[in-house]
Structure 1
């Protein structure tokens, strides 16, 4: 068992040794997945005299996975936190609330097109302002990950890491995001735009009677969906990119 585990670890070390320091999770999890699946699936009861060595190798591989997830989650948060991180990303851009979107053509007809555009921009800005807070929660979820969690991610479906984050961080992120988004909506003018829109739409027959939106709740849920979408995008790179890329810490871990 000791020879097998050491060989696997050495193989990973040789692959990771030439890695690009600042790159995405891409090939890192791919390489860890391919080289460590057998070891992680081995029962600890099979290790007799080599139990300490085996556990060390398993711990090393899990440490590598955690570092990969930290790098990837930081990259995902960074991408949505920058200006236009939501607004200019078609995959996660927050649209007008459905009740307002349904009145789209009528809003243009009534001269509210510009106001609607400004409102949509503002709610995306609010999400971008809230997103940086996600990093600490995601990193903490990674730090508390068990060996079984790591095995499930390495051996799981293409979105296993994303679903791990969704399960373990959604409630905390929602609690953290909502007051920040609520405040941001006021600062970037969303609340004002919304009030102006709803006042004008109220005069439109039928449509105007259906406008009743909890704006902070709507933007919060959309912001979380966007964040998880970007995490899934990073995970896709993990599963598909064959190149080994890592950080200086990982190079040290896998020496």
Structure 2
């Protein structure tokens, strides 16, 4: 009888020990999953931010170079409402090359402004939360850039505009444009016009900047050779 009791006790203790070990193992696995999930989330967030930082850095470097806008697909052309002015003024002696000169000056202003863009973009990128990161990663081509533009375009434009104005003045674009408009308004029987360059150049400069950042982002997403760091390879290699 005592022997049976001892055997039963040993079996019970063994069973409890196995259950405890199983519970401990489950808790350990759950903890590992939680840590891994947290690390994955952190990696995704950091990877997306690095991709945007790479895109911003390369876009700013490219567009802020001499003739960076002028010789690129993002070249800023004459605004539509100003083209009528240009077409008329071309016929006035001394203004034959007005269109070429104005295009060069607008693009030069955008190139000067682009040099000041990096801190603005970097600050905006820092504000992207980890909560958004997975959705952006799974959003496909351009998703990170589109998120950045949606959440920062208005503030970037407001910050960019005084830089554009200053840059336009540095290349004498606004003074030159005033002389063009004055010449146009001096033509008999034309409707007086005064198209503003500032906001137009601001908008087009940002359009070009975001387009180039998106191109860089898509390159990182789709071309393994453009994933220039272990973090980028890890995050975008899982896609």
State the TM-score, normalized to the length of structure 1. 0.71
Deviation at 1:103, TM superposition (A): 4.3
Pair 1:173–1:244, CA change in 2 (3 A):
closer
- Alpha-carbon spacing, 1:166–1:125, altered in 2? closer, same or farther (3 Å): same
Alignment: residue pair count: 205
In structure 2, the residue matched to 1:246 is 228
Instruction: Using the TM superposition, name which of 122-131 and 196-205 deviates more.
Output: 196-205
Shift of 1:74: 0.9
3-state SS of the aligned residue for 1:223? helix
In the alignment, structure 1 segments of 5+ residues that lack a partner are 1-46
Greater mean deviation of Cα atoms: 173-182 or 208-217: 208-217
Question: What is the match of residue 114 of structure 1?
Answer: 97
Residue 81 of structure 2 corresponds to 99
- The reply to whether residue 68 of structure 1 matches residue 51 of structure 2 is yes
Partner of 1:170: 153
Deviations 1:146-187 (A, max 9, x none): 223211221113221121111122122112111111112112
User: Measured at CA, do residues 61 and 97 of structure 1 come closer, stay the same or move farther in structure 2, by a change above 3 Å?
Assistant: closer
Aligned positions of 1:116-135 closer than 5 A: 116-135=99-118
Deviation at 1:131, TM superposition (A): 1.1
Correspondence for 1:36: none
Q: Which residue in the other structure is 1:179 paired with?
A: 162
Question: How far off is 1:125 after superposition?
Answer: 0.8
Structure 2: how far apart are the matches of 1:69 and 1:119?
32
Unaligned stretches of 5+ residues in structure 2: 1-28
Q: Does 1:233 align with 2:182?
A: no
Partner of 1:4: none
Aligned match for 2:127, one of 134, 144, 150 = 144
- 1:132–1:152 CA distance, 2 compared to 1 (3 A): farther
Structure 1 SS opposite 2:31: coil
Q: Which residue of 2 aligns with 1:189?
A: 172
CA distance in 2, matches of 1:244, 1:78: 17
Relative contact order higher in (CA < 8 Å, ≥ 6 apart): 1
| Structure 1, 141-150 or 186-195: larger mean CA deviation | 141-150
Give the superposed CA RMSD.
Answer: 2.5
In 1, the alpha carbon distance for the partners of 2:97 and 2:111 equals: 21
Contact 1:122–1:190 (8 Å) recurs in 2: yes
In 1: Cα distance, 2:164 partner to 2:184 partner: 24
Larger gyration radius, structure 1 or structure 2? 2
The match for 2:31 is 49
Deviation of 1:84 (Å): 0.8
TM-score normalised per structure 2: 0.76
